Amino acid sequence: MRTSKKLCQLSLEKMSSPSISVDSAIIHKAIRESNIELFRIFLMLMIISHHYVVNSGLTELYNPHEITWNMIFLELFGWGGKTGINCFLLITGYFMCQGRFTWRKFWKLVLELKFYILTIYAVFLLSGYETFQFQMAYKKLFSITMEFGRGFGGTYVCLFLLIPYLNRLISIFSKKEFERLLLILLSIQTVVSTFIYNSYYEYLLWYVTVYFVGSYIRLYPSRWMSNRLFINRMVAFSIVIIALSILVLTLSSFYVGRMLPIYYFVSDSNKILAVLSSVSFFLFFLNLKLKPSKIINTIASATFGILLIHTSGDTMRRFLWRDTFHNVDWYDSPYLVIHSVLVVLSVYIVCAIIDLVRIRYIERSLFSYFDKFKDRIKINSILS
């Protein structure tokens, strides 16, 4: 009897080892689609470029009476931040609508958010770059909950918790019902907000809407969604019309005598050109034929970390764009283009290295221990 029990225990230990447990098997065997991973790299570069312009004080130097080539370059260089956020949400909807919510994924997300928020805050405090304030420490400690419906991190956590219920809701709808729901949501949030000059924007509702759009593309693919010629034209059209909207508003600023909101049609994620460009870019990369690339997949695995690092607060924005790279000093420089490109690449590379180190030495070790602990609980519950 003891021998039988021992053999059973050994067999269960072998079956439950982390290397072949269900969650670990998915992680080790799943091959990420490199076209989507390349898309994530592209999106993050676009978001960093946006922050290079809008978080550095450069926009404060725009002069409607003195429109220069550098000014036009910066306007076109920094438009894509909100489109980038939409695209990440489309990716989430596309893959998670038929994926499986797990608490493991959820805690990975939450712990990564908290790690960077608290670690970067601690580094700034210890270096003397930021002084301790109780109110700020409180905000950092409860940053995720304080961002519910007000910022990307907290709202994305909310969206992630809702995924099982959103998927259940999607499964109930017929195709026509789903299309009607999308039409209502996009009409309220995009058409009205863009053309009736309504500044309405609710984070969680919009994130759910874009999640639904990504899910629809996955569940109900149409011919035009895989027509590469049509999609290429969509991409070209969206880029040209965005550029024209920016230039027209810039020239209008000259005649009005004050700077108009040049990014109006892409200023929020729900503005019509932000939606058009995000869907166009997503479909373009979705149909991009690319062999699996370990290099691309590895670099892209740090994408979320790069976002969290370089947007971790006002102190980080001041540290990067004003005190380290001195963006405003390059406004009139003939080397502005070179500076902007090199800075964006530098931020991406440094932040990627930091996050890859975190993944290898902190996240993997932590979740490896978690898997072993979970497997032991499973074994004990079976044998008891």
Please report where in the chains the tokens 């004990």 appear, as a residue: 380
pTM for the model: 0.87
Q: Which residue has the higher pLDDT, 146 or 350?
A: 350
Q: What is the mean pLDDT of the chain?
A: 88
pLDDT at 19 over 50: no
Please check whether residue 108 is in contact with residue 363, taking contact to mean a CB–CB distance below 8 angstroms.
Answer: yes
Amino acid (one-letter) located at 8: C
What contacts 171, CB < 8 A, 6 or more positions away? none
DSSP string, 230-277: HHHHHHHHHHHHHHHHHHHHHHHHHHHTS---TTGGGSSTTSHHHHHH
Residue 150 forms part of a structural domain: yes
Residue at token pair 């979740």: 367
For residue 147, the model assigns a pLDDT of 85
Q: How far apart are CA 334 and CA 326, in angstroms?
A: 15
Alpha helices in the chain (DSSP H): 2-15, 22-29, 34-54, 69-77, 81-96, 103-126, 134-141, 143-146, 152-172, 175-186, 192-195, 203-219, 228-256, 272-286, 294-300, 303-310, 314-317, 336-358, 364-383
Q: For residue 18, is it within any domain?
A: no
Q: What is the pLDDT of residues 172-210, one digit of tens each?
A: 999 999 999 999 999 999 999 898 876 778 899 999 999
From CA 262, how far away is CA 260, in angstroms rounded? 6
Residue 272's closest CA among 7, 83, 40?
Answer: 83
In a domain, 12, yes or no: no
pLDDT for residue 332 is more than 90: yes
Q: Which residues contact 190 (CB under 8 A, 6 or more apart)?
A: 270, 271, 272, 275
Closest alpha carbon to 52 in 250, 260, 339: 339
The answer to whether 152 touches 85, Cβ cutoff 8 Å, is yes
Q: How many domains does the chain have?
A: 1
Residue 3 resides in a domain: no
Token readout for 310 is: 């370089």
Residue 76 placed within a domain: yes
Contact 308, 116 (CB under 8 A): yes
47 pLDDT above the threshold of 80: yes
| Predicted confidence (pLDDT) per residue in 145-165, tens digit | 888 888 899 999 999 999 999
124 assigned to some structural domain: yes
In a domain, 370, yes or no: yes
Mean pLDDT along residues 354-380? 78
Q: Which domain holds residue 372?
A: 32-383
Q: Is 20 contained in some domain?
A: no
Tokens of 253: 């600023």
Q: Does residue 3 carry a pLDDT above 60? A: no
